[in-house]
Each structure stands twice: as C-alpha cells, then as structure tokens.
Structure 1
Amino acid sequence: MTTARYAALLLPSANRVYAAASTDLLAAELEILASAAGAEIVDPRVERIADVAYVTFTVDDLDDRTVAYLANASALYALFRFEAGALHPVPAPRLDRLDDDLVTIQKYAGKTNEQFTRLLLNVTVAASGAAGQMLDRPLRVLDPVCGRGSTLNQALLYGYHAAGIDVDTADVEAYATFVRTYLPRKRLKHTVAFGPVRRDRKVVARRLEATIGLTREAFKAGDVRELDVVAADTRRCGEFFRRGSFDVVVGDLPYGVQHGSRSAGGDLQRGPLDLLRTAVPAWTAMLRPGGTIGLSWNTHVAAREEAAGVLADHGLEVLDDGAWTRLRHRVDQSIDRDVLVARRAPRPRA
C-alpha cells in the first residue's frame, strides 16, 4: 500500500483547559482507533498550518473502514490528506445513529466534558475483543458509576445498548426525567418505565428501563436499543444485570467527592482506590471474555500505579504502554485526569 500523510483538524471546545490538551489527546486516540482497525499510525504530531493547529500523521493509505474508525475520534472536526502541497478533504462520517443533542443538551454542575466521554468510550471499545465489530453491531456498554447518564447517552448515540448503576438515587431520577422528556420530543418510537424494584416485599432499588427504535421502521420490526439504569450500590450490579453480558465497562469516577458504593459500615466511600478494591470483582464479572474496563479518575487522589495495581490484582491485563500512557490531562487546578484500560482474558480456544 502507498504511504500517505494526513492532517486532523480539531473540533472546537468550549472548555479552554480541555482545548489546550485536546491536540495531544487526539493524537493518542487516533493511534488507538487506527490499531483497532488494523492500521498503524506513524509520527503523530501537532503542526500549525496557516496558523491553525492540526494533528498530522503518516499511515499506509487509508481504506474506507479505517477512516470510519478514525472518524469517531472525540476531537476530530475534519480529516485531510496531503496531496501536491495542499490539503484535500477526506469524507469521514461518524458512527452516530441519533442526533448529537442527546449528549449536549443536558447541563448540570459536574457534567463530564462530552468530548472526553466519547474518548473514554472509544478507547475502551478499541481495546476490547469487540473492537473489530465497533461499527457493525450494537455493543453492550455498562457504566458502573453512571450519574446522570453522560456515558449512557454516548453509547446510545452510537446505536449501542446502554446500562448503568449509581448509588445516588437523585441522579438516576434526574436522568429518568431527561429520558422521558427527550424521547417523545425527538419523536423516537420507544417504551419507557421507571419505578421501584421489590424483593421480598421490600424496595431494593429504582430502575429505568427503555427500548428505543433508531427509526420507526426499526422499532416496528423489533430492532431496538435497550437502556437499563438502576439506582443501587455498584457492587450489587450482578443482582440486576446478567454476568458476562457486556462488551465494555466504562466509568468516569467522581473526583474525590463521592463514589458509587458504600463501605461495610454504610459510609459513602470517597477514595477511588477504596471503590476499585471493592467493586472491580463485580465489574469484571459483568464482562464477556475479552471485554475491557475503561476508567478515568483524578490522579491527585490516587496514583496511576496504584489504580493499575488494583486492576491487575483482579486478573485484568492493564494496557500501560505507548498511546495508552498519553491520555492524562489537566481538568482544573484540583483535577488531573488519567485513563486506565484493562482487558479480561479472552475465552481459551478449544
């Protein structure tokens, strides 16, 4: 194949601090997505062309499928190929199956940047055994600390099935209100229910369940996407979701304020390491063989080596070299965010 050089123009970001980090993040994300498509990006770097920042890279001439992977990079606005000293646009349609206001319309304090939410899901899927099917089938995504649903909405935007669990009932209720408002307003054919989960005549959780048709025709034919969200301790996810049924587990851990489980004494856990030590076994059990866990957290409250050690201690293979180590970035003065992706062993061949 012919080697060619490309330039990726960055999507504008309203967040000034994240925009400053997005060039380096895009370079790493493009490497990871290209690898998932079976390609290898060489010499990714930030260049200014006509005083505009681009991420440029060299690769064996891109086929349509590899472009379809790269098109989903979180900060990619447009893709160009260098030809005869000029930039020629490369069509790069995204995977999105629904309108992008699904991920942008919600506004609330503490909401994760939409570009980062997309990046976290992208790199987790790209490392999984389902990476080769990222564009082809509705993957199953679990967010074990789902809050008000940012990751769930990004999964639905891709046409994936989305499930979540969070200890904060108020957040789940707020998300249920959003879903029950958004789906009718967008005239998406759907079913939705939100109510208590009872066992032995006791309420043990609250649950939001929805089925969504990407089109009217698809809904009528029974081709729907499932949304399933539970207000409960994340360590109890095995009570509500089928073990071994998810391609990826993706979570943006809260930054040292509160987390998704309580200690044996009932106190809310505040350190991500405490949460990981108690919850990773339950999360791992949710994964299919070859599935991946992708987590982000504040390194000011837990070092990368410690977090990686917890995942490795539970039998997961931590991806800890190359582009996987270049996803750390500053959020604000008190938050320095990093990403860890770890893989469950694939099923042994017969």
Structure 2
Amino acid sequence: MYAILLAPASNRVYAGESGELVAAELSVLLSAVDRDPGPIRPLELAGVGYLALDLPPDPVVDRELGRASAVLAAYEQVGDLLRPVPIERPDRFDDDLVTIPKYPGKTNEQFTRLLVNVTLAARRAPRLGPASILDPMSGRGTTLSTAWILGHHGYGVESDPKAVEAQAAFLRTYLRRKRIKHRLTTTPVRRDGRSLGRRLDAEVQPPQAGPGGADSTHGGPALELTVFTGDTRDTAFLYGKRTFDAVVTDAPYGIVHGSAHRESGASARAGKHGKASRDRSAADLLAEAIPIWAGLLRPGGALGLSWNTYGLRREDLADIARRAGLEPQDGDPYLRFGHRVDASIHRDVFVAVAPLR
C-alpha cells in the first residue's frame, strides 16, 4: 500500500480541498493506465496526514504519482513503517515558472496542473511525444507554462493584449535569468490588409530531462508556445488548419469576465460605431465557444474546463458539449472535483472527449 504525502497548497482556499481533489485526480490518472486504484482515502500516521492507495509498488503507478498536481512524496507502508518510493516526475522546468507571477484572478497553480492532467488522461488517442494543448482564454499563461513544465506544447488566445504583453515580458526575463536556450518574438498579425492584434511565439529547449531518454545536455525536444490576441470565438480563424490534442481552460466565472466582441476578419460582432460590447453571461459565451473549440480537437482529443456551477449547471454544460459532437465524461471520479472558491464561486471540472473518426 502507498502512503502519499501531499505538497502544501499554495493558497488557503485550495488547502482545505486539495486532499479530495488529488484523490479524484489520481483515480483518473491511474484508471487511464489500467490500474484500478479503488477508494483513495485519508490516512494519519504519527500525526501526519497522507492519502492511502491500496496498490502494490509498481513503476507505472510511480510515474502517475510523479505527474500528479500535489504529490510531494510516496511511501510503501510496511507494517508500522514507511519505506520511501522513488516517484518519476515528468517536469522539464522548475515550478517557479508558474509560481513567480502574482496577479489578481490568477488560477491556483496546483489546480491548473490537475486540470491539464485529467484532460490529457481522458484522451482516446494518446500520442507519443509532446501533446499540443490549447487554452483559448489563456490570460497571462498559467496553463501554457504548466504545459511546458509537463513537457508539452502550449497555444493560446487572449482578449486582453496587456495580459499577453505581461506574459511575454515575464517569459523573456525568466528564460534569460535561468540561461535557458530560447527564441521569443512578438509580432503584429495582419490579414487582408487589416490588423488583428499581436502574436507571441516562443520556442524553448527544456533544461531538465524527464523520463524516457533525454541526453545529458538538455531535457528533450524543443517546446513551442504561441498566443494570439483576440476573441476566443475567433480561435479557429486565428490558428487556421491547426488542430490540438487537448483544449484546456479556466472558464470565466461571471459577467465581468465576459469576452469583449471585437470586429475582425473572422467576425463582426462589435456594437454600433465599432465599439466593443460584452456577453450577457459566461454561460452564453461557453454556449457559443465550445462548438468552436470542439472543432479544433484531433480525433480522440479531449476538452477540459473549470467553471462556476452557480452560473451554469453541469447538465446544461454537458448538453452544449454533446451538441458539439463531444462525449462528456460524467461518471466517477469526474464528478468529484467540485469545490468552493468563495461565496459566489463553486468551481468544478468538466471533461469531454472527441470521437475517433
């Protein structure tokens, strides 16, 4: 039996929920690799809290424990003693890539990693090598930086140009200070003679080797990152024929987060005189955006999002996904991720999978 020690949560709101959330995350990860974890339960030994996992030591389990969002260490319980179990971590960068940026509204880093993990685990057609992860409401890039840490490519769309500028400035400073080989540019985007905003492009050579064969000088294949400024509903237009293994996003929690309509070559949704207008609700935005995101998934790819259940019921979200041709994952443990953020936000996770065509 494993006794799993969790890393401290990075904020107080998440701390009280992290044990149950990580237990659900591990259930998804282990089930995806044909390991039946059974009930994962709290365990206290000598006054220290752990999660108990009733599986024998197994390299596959060790790998998934290393991937999880908040596993600090793992032990095999032998009678009253704990024997350390080496866990295999996929991380290509230090976690300060996501922990250094501080700003209002930032999604918890541990939760972001959990959301990426459960979405990738749900794919029906996992591919070898780095996955391509799209965050169509990418903010200042927590999801995209998490993708890099886990050894994947990150792509985004963000309506706030200042957020993309801040992401570019941070990455440029971080990569230089860490002396990590990289290329980073920001360029204007123009099509048919019209300005559509700006584009951030980066390519980085990971400094750390994950499992599976990186040489001694670097951490495996180069990783890409691209972010367009623009409306999330223009994502298909901005990325053209590109498709993705997963779409992962932290959806807006209320009206204040509604995406501004901006006239572009793909859409002309601005109000009179070209002024930006806002959606009536986050639910309206998701109803319009999810079919677009679904069309960007490769066969067998997965959509994973977190959202505020006070603004949209899970049943209604599942209906939107089904109409977009996706299959919601609505069984245990996918129904065990709901948790309170504050009095007006109850956050949950929704995952749906594209058919194998």
**TM-score normalised by L of structure 1:** 0.91
Q: Counterpart of 1:170 in 2: which secondary structure? A: helix
For 2:216 and 2:283, the matched residues in 1 are separated by: 43
Give the AA of the match of 1:230.
F
Which residue is 1:186 aligned to?
A: 178
Is residue 45 from structure 1 mapped to residue 70 from structure 2 by the alignment?
Answer: no
Which residue of structure 1 aligns with residue 193 of structure 2?
201
* Paired amino acid for 2:152: Y
Equivalent residues in 2 for 1:130-209 (5 A)?
130-131=125-126, 133=127, 137-209=129-201
Q: Determine which of 216, 228, 231 is the counterpart of 1:233.
A: 231
| 1:71 is the counterpart of 2:62 | no
Q: Which residue of 2 aligns with 1:322?
A: 332
Q: 1:9-88, aligned counterparts within 5 Å? A: 9-59=5-55, 61-88=56-83
Q: Could you say which residue in structure 1 is the equivalent of 2:205?
A: 213
Write the letter of the residue equivalent to 1:277: A
CA separation in 2, counterparts of 1:160 and 1:53? 32
Kindly indicate whether residue 344 of structure 2 is the aligned counterpart of residue 334 of structure 1.
yes
Runs (4 or more) in structure 1 with deviation over 4 Å come to 215-220
Counterpart residue number, 2:257: 258
Over residues 15-74 of structure 1, what are the superposed CA-to-partner deviations in whole Å (9 max), with x where a residue is unaligned? 122111011101101111101222110121112222222111212x24213311221111
What is the Cα deviation at residue 91 of structure 1?
Answer: 0.6
Over 3 Å counting, the alpha-carbon distance change for 1:267 and 1:301 in structure 2 is same
Distance in 1, matches of 2:216 and 2:132, equals 18
Relative distance call for 1:53 and 1:191 in structure 2 (3 A) is: same
Q: If the length of structure 2 is used for normalisation, what is the TM-score?
A: 0.89
SS in 2 for 1:321: coil
User: What letter is aligned with 1:155?
Assistant: A
Q: 1:121 aligns with which of 116, 119, 123?
A: 116
**2:207 & 2:74 partners in 1: Cα distance?**
29
Matched to 2:83, the amino acid is H
CA distance in 1, matches of 2:125, 2:15: 30
Preserved CA contact (<8 Å) 1:212 1:219? no
Query: Larger deviation: 201-210 or 242-251?
Result: 242-251
CA RMSD across the alignment = 2.2
| 2: CA distance, partners of 1:243 / 1:68 | 34
Letter in 2 for 1:157: I
Residue of structure 1 in register with 2:266 after alignment: none
Shift of 1:323: 0.6
Q: Which runs of 5+ in 1 are unaligned?
A: none
* Deviation, structure 1 residue 311: 1.0
Map of 1:249 onto structure 2: 247
Which digits, 9 at most, give the CA deviation of each residue in 1:137-174, with x for residues without a partner? 11100001000000000001112110000111111111
Pair 1:211–1:56, CA change in 2 (3 A): same
| One-letter code aligned to 1:225 | L
Secondary structure in 2 matching 1:116:
helix
Indicate the larger mover: 334-343 or 192-201: 192-201
Structure 1 distance, partners of 2:89, 2:245, is 20
Residue of structure 2 in register with 1:275 after alignment: 285
Between the aligned partners of 1:258 and 1:270, the Cα distance in structure 2 is 10
Partners of 1:199 and 1:252 lie apart in 2 by: 29
**Distance in structure 1 (CA, Å) of the matches to 2:10 and 2:147:** 22
Measured after TM superposition, the shift of residue 275 of structure 1 is 1.2
SS in 2 for 1:327: coil
- Residues 51 and 27 of structure 1: CA distance in aligned 2, closer, same or farther (over 3 Å): same
Displacement after TM superposition at 1:254 (Å): 2.2
1:324 is paired with a residue whose SS is coil
State percent identity of aligned pairs.
Answer: 46
Length, aligned pairs only: 339
Corresponding residue for residue 308 of structure 2: 298
Amino acid in structure 2 at the alignment position of 1:179: L
Structure 1 residue 215: deviation in Å? 4.4
Asked whether the equivalents of residues 145 and 259 of structure 1 are also in contact (C-alpha less than 8 Å), the reply is no
